[in-house]
Structure 1
Amino acid sequence: MLFSLFTLSRKLKSKKSRKNLKILLRTHQESMTWRNEFSQECNQLRIFTASSVARTTNSLFNASNIHVYYD
């Protein structure tokens, strides 16, 4: 995400449209709060997924097939 913002910023600067570029970034405290909440959600999901997979013997899914994306 940060890399894509950096790349976009460089492209826009090269087109001389720098003055219209506005990127909203979280403060350090907001960022840490978001990371902690997201980490807790992932841990809860991992526990739920692992217990579900363990209970289902002939399942088509396993924990390595499940990916979590936060939008």
Structure 2
Amino acid sequence: MNQILLQEALMERLDYLEVKVAYQEDTIEKLNQILIEQQQSLELMERKMSIVSDKLKTLQTSDLPSADQIEIPPHY
């Protein structure tokens, strides 16, 4: 009788561990998919930032003086 109770307890424990592993595998897969999406989003943002940066570099400088060239009036 004691042997049967021990086997039942072990089977319950094994079932519990199998369920836990299944949930962990599902969680890992979901996290992996989120990580893939974030990586794709990051790569897209990097490409867009590179395009914006290139466009800013090619813009002609304005005819306005730079901050270093502006003289502060004497009353300041």
Q: For the pair shown, which has the larger CA radius of gyration, 1 or 2? A: 2
Q: TM-score, normalised by structure 1?
A: 0.43
Structure of greater relative contact order (alpha carbons < 8 Å, 6+ residues apart): 1
